């Protein structure tokens, strides 16, 4: 592990503003100036008399001029290729090509709904659909060429200028997209953050640190894709597909963006979405159970995450930032070039480069005195809970890695007042606290409940569900965690998709040794027994009502945690999306909380389903959704 002393003084990953403000003096460093530009690298240094330090801009040769660079930025606004040029530039390996290889390409698309005239349509085979089914639609909208991974007859594609057959469309997607948009990531400082939990909050903190350095910064993540603070409103995945990522990065360059902070999911890495992105800093937060439905094993899950660190190959322009408290830390430190400097952080290991000396937690925020290689620093953050201390430490470590001034690091972190759906307090002047959090893994749920308990909760009342079509093994685990750490637990639905919600609830109840049948029998006997530890557990198959039930139970000094969905504002139920926002539901319930209390609602809340649906166990999930409004009258008001 490299010590801090080994880090260069250059802010290696901070390019100059793309507006090219006119410097008082300019020089280009050639390969004969090793102190500024190492031979064999496509980089040069722009220096200004006013600048505090020289900065490296990647992606151009030492023979470039400022006019060349300005021209390159301008050309991005009018991108056009011939198919042959794009194939050559991307080094595409193909099985066969049919038609005119000089067909003009003015766009690239994988979704036929968004194809416009001149686009190259790439047919990808996904989990739920096959892009080959939509070739006719793409051609009718003006696509001029098609990339496919099935043996298609070119003569059966009227209006198609060219057809390229490849072995795997997804495998070539990233290189085609990056080449088409002229590798925009090479013109920015890019920070990739991977791990099971903490990515979103850490990304917001790091983004703010970069902005405190005066850099225009974009962000890709679970909450949104942002260009200079503006939400692009097209979030489908934590890590966007390769075409979307490259297109948005190109748009960022046009808008003068100098840095990009990315949340990197295991899916994004496994599916190659990041293959052609040039990362400068790789951050590892932690690794706990998640996405076993996709990866199969913990080892495969970890291997996907490790792909980000494999990219850390150049000690001059790459850095690793690692949470050394996590037992998987050695795997991440070892990946990539061993000579790439590593900045570590942790709360348990005093050998970490960045660690806390003092932590003060309250419902008003968090204060941390932190030891860093640059000296001590105190941070006062609005973020709540001990688990957020890790995210603060990660942001400080990134600041150290890129040689940011400590005052800028502190200012950046303290500017973040909160992150949507992450320990987000809902305040309607009620005498108890309500938090909405995205915790949807066993570890995340345990952390947020431990944090809430440490904040002084008289009682913890937890509402959560488990998503459909995902890791079924974590369902009983999460119920056991919630039942152990909460005084009252209400199990409910959470994005069931096409899976039967009652099956999900039955899986969850296994965590306390119950079944759905036994729970309903409790209701028939008008007695819901406490758990062996004295805590109480209830079930409600309507999330909105479960939230209201929690508010009805809460009293002075309690903390209500509504977990699992965070910032999300809809549930997938069958083949439709139903609007529901936990934050809005909490606010509406709190406006009527006195009425709920006056109603003296029994804490023994029945599972509101019809006897018929229980007998059949709702084998047809669509029948369950259709019956939603036909169930027994709700004992709680639905406002």
CA within 13 Å, CB half, 533: 14
- What is the per-residue pLDDT across 48-88, written as a single tens digit (0 to 9) for each? 333 333 233 333 333 444 444 444 444 445 678 999 999 99
Containing H/E element for 93? none
What pLDDT does 625 receive? 44
What whole-number distance in Å separates Cα of residue 323 and Cα of residue 202?
12
Residue 352 pLDDT: 97
Residues 136 and 186 in one domain: no
Per DSSP, which regions of 273-413 are E strands?
A: 281-284, 319-323, 342-345, 355-362, 365-372, 375-381
pLDDT for 604: 41
How many structural domains comprise the chain? 3
Is residue 105 domain-shared with residue 145, that is, in the same domain? Answer: yes
- Looking at the predicted structure, is the pLDDT value of residue 142 above 80? yes
Same domain membership, residue 258 and residue 233: yes
> Does residue 481 belong to any structural domain of this protein?
yes
User: What's the CA gap between 520 and 52, in Å, rounded?
Assistant: 70
Domain co-membership, 498 together with 476: yes
Report pLDDT for 570: 87
The residue-averaged pLDDT of 310-331 equals 96
Task: Report whether pLDDT(33) > 50.
Answer: no
pLDDT of 616 higher than 90: no
**Predicted confidence band of residue 229 (pLDDT cuts 50, 70, 90):** low
| First vs last C-alpha separation in the chain | 57
Check whether residue 161 and residue 227 sit in a common domain. Answer: no
- How would residue 296 be classed by pLDDT, with cut points 50, 70 and 90? low
- 205 touches 391 (CB < 8 A): yes
Q: 354: domain CATH number? A: 3.40.1190.10
Assess if residue 472 is contained within a domain.
yes
Give the sign of the dihedral formed by CA 363, CA 365, CA 371, CA 376. negative
pLDDT on residue 575: 83
Q: Examine the domain organization and report whether 472 and 493 are in the same domain.
A: yes
Confidence band, pLDDT 50/70/90 cuts, at residue 92: very high
For residue 116, the model assigns a pLDDT of 96
Residue 299 lies inside a defined structural domain of this protein = yes
- Does residue 583 have a pLDDT over 80? yes
- Using the predicted structure, report yes or no on whether residue 320 has a pLDDT greater than 50: yes
* pLDDT at site 72: 47
Q: Are residues 330 and 198 in the same domain?
A: yes
Which position has the higher pLDDT, 507 or 67? Answer: 507
Residues 401 and 531 both lie in one domain: no
Residue by residue, DSSP assigns 115-184 as --TTEEEE--B-SS-BGGGGHHHHHHTT--EEEESS---GGGSTT-SEEEE-S-HHHHHHHHHHHHTT-G
Contact 289, 311 (CB under 8 A): no
Domain stop point among 415, 449, 464: 415
Q: What is the pLDDT of residue 235?
A: 55
Q: Are residues 119 and 105 located together in one domain of the fold?
A: yes
386 and 448 fall within a common domain: no
Sequence-separated (6 or more) residues with CB below 8 Å from residue 377: 369, 370, 396, 406, 409, 410
Label residue 596 by pLDDT band (50, 70, 90): confident
Task: Report how far residue 440's alpha carbon sits from residue 188's, in angstroms, rounded to the nearest whole number.
Answer: 32
**Residue 637's pLDDT is what?**
33
65/273: higher pLDDT: 273
Contact present, 390 and 382 (Cβ < 8 Å): no
Question: Does some domain include residue 48?
Answer: no
Question: Would you state the pLDDT for residue 138?
Answer: 97
What value does the mean pLDDT of the chain take?
A: 82
Residue 46 has pLDDT above 90, yes or no: no
Of these ranges, 23-27, 494-498, 617-621, the one predicted with the greatest mean pLDDT is 494-498
Using CA atoms, how far apart are residues 295 and 55, in angstroms rounded to an integer? 40
Q: Does residue 71 fall inside a structural domain?
A: no
In this structure, the answer to whether residues 103 and 195 fall within a common structural domain is no
pLDDT of residue 172: 95
Helix (H) or strand (E) holding 537: strand 536-539
Q: How confident is the model at residue 233 (pLDDT cuts 50, 70, 90)?
A: low
Contacts of 297 (CB under 8 A, 6+ apart): none
Arithmetic mean of pLDDT, 271-276:
86
pLDDT in the model for residue 292? 56
Q: What is the average per-residue pLDDT within 614-632? A: 42
Higher pLDDT, 108 or 58: 108
How distant is the alpha carbon of residue 292 from its chain centre?
17
Higher pLDDT, 31 or 232: 232
CB-based burial, 621-639: b 16+ in 10 Å, e otherwise:
beebbeeeeeeeebbbeee
How far apart CA 258 and CA 588 sit, in angstroms, is: 41
Q: Cα–Cα distances in Å, from 90 out to 64, 96, 182?
A: 22, 16, 10
Q: Which of 178, 202, 230 is the last residue of a domain?
A: 178
Residue 531 has pLDDT above 90, yes or no: yes
In a domain, 3, yes or no: no
Residues 166-190: tens digit of each pLDDT: 999 999 999 999 999 999 999 999 9
pLDDT digits (tens, 9 = 90+) for 466-479: 999 888 999 999 99
DSSP letter for each residue of 452-486: HHHTT-SSEEEEE---TTS-TTHHHHHHHHHHHH-
Long-range pairs for 333-338: beta carbons < 8 A, 24 or more residues apart: 333/1, 335/306, 335/309, 335/310, 336/282, 336/309, 336/310, 336/311, 336/312, 337/312, 337/313
Per-residue pLDDT band at 146 (split at 50, 70, 90): very high
What tens digit of pLDDT does each residue of 210-228 get?
A: 999 999 999 998 887 877 6
- Which of 388, 415, 442 is where one domain is finished? 415
Q: Are residues 572 and 462 in the same domain?
A: yes
**Predicted local distance difference test score (pLDDT) of residue 18:** 29
pLDDT exceeds cutoff 50 at 563: yes
Tell me what the mean pLDDT of segment 333-337 comes to. Answer: 95
Domain annotation covers residue 511:
yes
CATH of residue 527's domain is 3.90.190.20
Q: Tell me, yes or no, whether 451 lies in a domain.
A: yes
Q: What does the pLDDT average to over 595-616?
A: 50
What range does the domain containing 582 cover?
424-630
11: pLDDT strictly greater than 90: no
Q: Which residue in 629, 430, 465 sits closest to 540, CA to CA?
A: 465
Domain of 161: which CATH number? 3.40.1390.10
Query: Which helix (H) or strand (E) is 74 found in, with range?
Result: helix 66-75
């Amino acid at each position: 592990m490299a010590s801090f002393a080994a880090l260069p003084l250059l802010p290696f990953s901070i390019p100059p503003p793309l507006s090219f403000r006119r410097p008082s003096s300019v020089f280009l460093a050639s390969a004969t100036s090793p102190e500024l530009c190492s031979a064999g690298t496509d980089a040069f240094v722009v220096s200004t008399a006013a600048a505090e330090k020289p900065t490296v801009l990647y992606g151009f040769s030492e023979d470039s001029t400022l006019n060349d660079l300005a021209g390159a930025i301008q050309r991005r606004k009018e991108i056009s290729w011939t198919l042959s040029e794009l194939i050559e530039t991307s080094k595409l390996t193909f099985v066969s090509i049919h038609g005119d290889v000089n067909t003009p390409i003015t766009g690239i698309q994988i979704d036929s709904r968004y194809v416009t005239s001149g686009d190259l349509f790439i047919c990808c085979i996904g989990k739920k659909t096959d892009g080959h089914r939509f070739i006719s639609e793409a051609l009718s909208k003006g696509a001029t060429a098609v990339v496919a991974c099935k043996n298609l007859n070119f003569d059966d594609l009227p209006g198609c200028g060219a057809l390229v057959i490849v072995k795997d469309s997804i495998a070539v997607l990233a290189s085609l997209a990056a080449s088409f948009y002229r590798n925009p990531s090479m013109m920015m400082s890019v920070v990739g953050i991977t791990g099971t939990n903490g990515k979103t909050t850490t990304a917001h903190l790091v983004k703010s640190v970069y902005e405190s350095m005066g850099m225009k910064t974009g962000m890709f993540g679970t909450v949104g894709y942002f260009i200079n603070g503006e939400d692009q409103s097209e979030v489908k995945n934590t890590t966007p597909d390769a075409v979307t990522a490259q297109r948005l990065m190109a748009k960022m360059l046009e808008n003068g963006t100098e840095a990009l902070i990315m949340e990197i999911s295991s899916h994004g890495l496994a599916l190659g979405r990041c293959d052609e992105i040039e990362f400068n800093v790789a951050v590892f937060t932690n690794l706990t159970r998640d996405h076993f439905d996709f990866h199969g094993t913990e080892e495969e899950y970890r291997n996907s995450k490790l792909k980000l660190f494999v990219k850390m190959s150049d000690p001059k322009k790459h850095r690793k930032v690692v949470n050394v408290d996590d037992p998987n830390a050695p795997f991440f430190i070892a990946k990539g070039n061993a000579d790439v400097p590593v900045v570590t952080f942790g709360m348990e290991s005093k050998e970490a480069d960045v660690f806390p000396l003092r932590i003060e937690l309250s419902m008003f925020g968090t204060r941390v005195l932190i030891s860093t290689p640059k000296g001590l620093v105190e941070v006062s953050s609005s973020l709540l809970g001990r688990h957020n201390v890790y995210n603060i430490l990660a942001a400080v470590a990134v600041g150290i890695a890129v040689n940011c001034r400590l005052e800028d690091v502190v200012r950046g972190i303290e500017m973040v007042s909160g992150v949507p759906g992450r320990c987000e307090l809902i305040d309607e002047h009620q005498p108890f606290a309500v938090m909405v959090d995205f915790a949807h893994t066993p570890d995340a749920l345990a952390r947020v409940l431990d944090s809430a308990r440490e904040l002084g909760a008289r009682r913890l009342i937890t509402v959560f569900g488990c998503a459909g079509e995902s890791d079924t093994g974590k369902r009983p685990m999460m119920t056991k965690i919630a039942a152990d750490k909460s005084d009252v637990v209400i199990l409910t639905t959470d994005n069931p998709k096409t899976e039967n919600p009652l099956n999900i609830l039955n899986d969850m109840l296994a965590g306390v040794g119950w079944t759905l049948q036994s729970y309903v029998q409790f209701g028939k006997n008008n007695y819901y027994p406490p758990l062996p530890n004295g805590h109480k557990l209830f079930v409600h198959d309507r999330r909105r009502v479960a939230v209201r039930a929690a508010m009805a139970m809460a009293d002075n000094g309690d903390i209500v945690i509504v977990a699992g969905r965070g910032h999300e504002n809809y549930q997938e139920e069958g083949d439709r999306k139903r609007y529901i926002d936990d934050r809005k539901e909490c606010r509406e319930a709190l406006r009527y909380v006195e009425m709920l209390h006056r109603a003296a609602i029994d804490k023994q809340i029945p599972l509101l389903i019809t006897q018929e649906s229980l007998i059949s166990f709702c084998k047809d999930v669509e029948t369950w959704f259709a019956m939603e409004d036909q169930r027994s009258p709700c004992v709680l008001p639905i406002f």
